[in-house]
Chains A and B, each alone.
Chain A
């Protein structure tokens, strides 16, 4: 499950991979869907959205969010870029 393998560091606005994760690689689209689902919870409404979809395979981290280099190794089927904005 992606929510068990990936970790969201709200304080530092960073996407991390759990050290003891399952080792499964997930489509970037699944990460996108997971993040949107997480950020629509009432307790997260005050937080800026971390990701936008440019197409079904290209995504961008926004609002200062970044992804850990290790976590990238567990993503597939798409590209994920970062911006400073």
Chain B
């Protein structure tokens, strides 16, 4: 038994032999027909090469004949799961090619029944490169061009093209200059392999082997050389999603890795009245896990240190978008057939499609960072996944509200920091979507940054009236005035955030000044109006204390006086301080007044 992989992409041909490949010019001429080029391959030792003529505006194509190679069955690119074409190509002298807008390099698909060197009568082109655009590559000169064929063509179709009956597809190049040199031109367009499908890289277990990132990398970079995962000097670019396990697996899948790699979801572009996205990322740029009812899946990213609520996750990998504006991705660990979804110290940047977890016994999300990502939803099974010691920064994506974290009435969420930089300009850190009258615990949920306008601590999003009491604990600092009610304007939220305000009074010898010292605490901004936060005599231990419903840091003035006849007299004491989310505590040392009359 061994691990197996599915990429979601069918490798139609690795271009090791000329069989099923042909070439032609749809404008100008080719100098020589396509042939096998040895010792220069993308998915193997060889590739198919084509020499364009020196004639300006020659547009030449290397075409793969799917229809012939599949027993006269056409390819239906409209079938769900078939939509993406991926072609390894190399252009020897990109400076000779046309620009992106002129179709310097293009993917072409034809639905007419012609074969071989015959120019098809019905075809579509998507311009994927040109001499004026940079196409970075991690595999020598090779670049994996991708197009989701649901995308509109770059130029008007020739003939009546049909995505449902594709016979051939391939790569074309437009020569944009006329060379004056004599002699036959060298091959300048190379095809290193053709694939189609929906790119989701999936590891499926054998019931015994623990899969790691290295297994993914080896399969993509070495075994199949499919270009879906690229090694860019230690970070990895993904042109695919990542999936752990399968819903149809016949053995358990276990994935565990704490090597902490960085994965970047790559942007692929093409030309359509400008450079636009070539892929429908939302359909396949994801990180998720699946399992079967009898053969479940366990996923552990990173490792955990500490115990209890002090647990911290480390080395859980980074998943980043390559373009926050244009390349969304998402995560989903809600399958019922998981035995573990432990994400320890994982960094998510730009997961604007949101992140879903579930199950208190299997979902452990510890020390993760969610930056510019969509809503984190911990689910409801067992009150949802455990979310502990995590940080959310500038939530972005999903809805226009840009929710950060769904906070249901019952949950396993604590110790979460919410940080805003102010961008995007609409942010709702918490999404209270439950309706009705209920209380919700906000255990050490701390908000950092400036909140005002549409950058808010949260939102009551249920259309049904909600009457919410938020019970803040352990230093949480939610502010009820910083919650919007987009679901129902009549909904309300009240924050109970009772913190202690404690003044301990001692004398110069360190002994408690018990019972008779007068203690008062006022907001510094309003001492004169006499509205005190605390006004009391010290108790038998020299302590005066009360509670305070915290909402924002509050500047205070503390006064302690004891100058009544018949007791030891002290000089008046006054100090300032700030009540924070953890409350306020101070020890006031009184100095004996030896001047006053007894």
Which chain B residues in 434-477 approach chain A with CB under 8 Å?
none
Given contacts A36-B563, A39-B563, A40-B564, contact A46 B596 (CB under 8 A): no
Q: Do A46 and B530 touch across chains, with their CB atoms under 8 A apart?
A: yes
B132 within 8 A of A: no
Query: Would you give the 0/1 interface string for B393-425, flagging 1 where the beta carbon is closer than 8 Å to chain A?
Result: 000000000000000000000000000000000
CA distance A42 to B572 in the complex (A): 13
A20 within 8 A of B: no
CA distance A42 to B519 in the complex (A): 8
Q: Do A36 and B522 touch across chains, with their CB atoms under 8 A apart?
A: no
Distance in angstroms from A38 CB to nearest chain B CB is 9
Given contacts A29-B595, A36-B572, A36-B593, contact A46 B563 (CB under 8 A): no
Distance in angstroms from B205 CB to nearest chain A CB is 71
Given contacts A36-B569, A37-B564, A40-B564, contact A46 B520 (CB under 8 A): yes
Q: Do B561 and A30 touch across chains, with their CB atoms under 8 A apart?
A: no
Query: Would you give the 0/1 interface string for A29-55, flagging 1 where the beta carbon is closer than 8 Å to chain B?
Result: 110110011011110011001000101
A56 within 8 A of B: yes
Interface residues on A, range: 10 to 19
Q: Do A42 and B565 touch across chains, with their CB atoms under 8 A apart?
A: no
Q: Do B596 and A32 touch across chains, with their CB atoms under 8 A apart?
A: yes
CA distance A42 to B537 in the complex (A): 9
Distance in angstroms from B594 CB to nearest chain A CB is 9
* Chain B interface, DSSP helix/strand/loop, else mixed: loop
What residue of chain A has the Cβ atom nearest to residue B517's Cβ? A40
Q: Taking each of B522, B529, B559, B593, which has the highest tally of chain A beta carbons within 10 Å of its own beta carbon?
A: B559
B592 within 8 A of A: no
CA distance A33 to B537 in the complex (A): 20
CA distance A54 to B561 in the complex (A): 18
CA distance A8 to B221 in the complex (A): 90
What residue of chain A has the Cβ atom nearest to residue B597's Cβ? A33
What residue of chain B has the Cβ atom nearest to residue A30's Cβ? B597
Q: Taking each of A29, A30, A37, A39, which has the highest tally of chain B beta carbons within 10 Å of its own beta carbon?
A: A37
What residue of chain A has the Cβ atom nearest to residue B569's Cβ? A36
Which residues of A are found within 8 Å of B522, using beta-carbon distances?
46
CA distance A49 to B520 in the complex (A): 13
CA distance A32 to B571 in the complex (A): 11
Q: Do B597 and A45 touch across chains, with their CB atoms under 8 A apart?
A: no
Q: Do B596 and A45 touch across chains, with their CB atoms under 8 A apart?
A: no
What residue of chain A has the Cβ atom nearest to residue B561's Cβ? A40
What residue of chain A has the Cβ atom nearest to residue B572's Cβ? A49
Which residues of A are found within 8 Å of B535, using beta-carbon distances?
42, 45
Q: Do B527 and A46 touch across chains, with their CB atoms under 8 A apart?
A: yes
CA distance A37 to B563 in the complex (A): 5
Which single member of A29, A32, A42, A56 contacts B518 (CB below 8 Å)? A42
Which residues of A are found within 8 Å of B596, using beta-carbon distances?
29, 32-33, 36, 53
What residue of chain B has the Cβ atom nearest to residue A29's Cβ? B597
Which single member of A29, A40, A55 contacts B563 (CB below 8 Å)? A40
CA distance A11 to B404 in the complex (A): 53
Which residues of A are found within 8 Å of B595, using beta-carbon distances?
29, 32, 53, 55-56
B179 within 8 A of A: no
Query: Would you give the 0/1 interface string for B554-575, flagging 1 where the beta carbon is closer than 8 Å to chain A?
Result: 0000010111110001001000
Distance in angstroms from B570 CB to nearest chain A CB is 9
Which residues of B are found within 8 Å of A46, using beta-carbon distances?
520, 522, 527-530, 532
Distance in angstroms from B115 CB to nearest chain A CB is 97
What residue of chain B has the Cβ atom nearest to residue A35's Cβ? B563
Which residues of B are found within 8 Å of A41, using beta-carbon distances?
518
Given contacts A30-B597, A53-B595, A56-B595, contact A37 B528 (CB under 8 A): no
Query: Would you give the 0/1 interface string for B47-79, flagging 1 where the beta carbon is closer than 8 Å to chain A?
Result: 000000000000000000000000000000000
CA distance A32 to B593 in the complex (A): 11
Q: Do B561 and A39 touch across chains, with their CB atoms under 8 A apart?
A: yes
CA distance A37 to B559 in the complex (A): 15
Distance in angstroms from A47 CB to nearest chain B CB is 8
Q: Taking each of A32, A33, A56, which has the highest tally of chain B beta carbons within 10 Å of its own beta carbon?
A: A33
Which residues of B are found within 8 Å of A40, using beta-carbon distances?
518, 561-564, 572
Query: Would you give the 0/1 interface string for B290-305, flagging 1 where the beta carbon is closer than 8 Å to chain A?
Result: 0000000000000000
Given contacts A32-B596, A33-B596, contact A45 B518 (CB under 8 A): yes
CA distance A75 to B561 in the complex (A): 25
CA distance A36 to B559 in the complex (A): 13
4 tightest A-B CB contacts, nearest first = A36-B563, A40-B561, A45-B520, A46-B530
17 A-B pairs (CB sep. < 8 Å): A29-B595, A29-B596, A32-B595, A33-B563, A36-B561, A36-B569, A37-B565, A41-B518, A42-B518, A45-B520, A45-B559, A45-B561, A46-B527, A46-B528, A49-B572, A53-B595, A53-B596
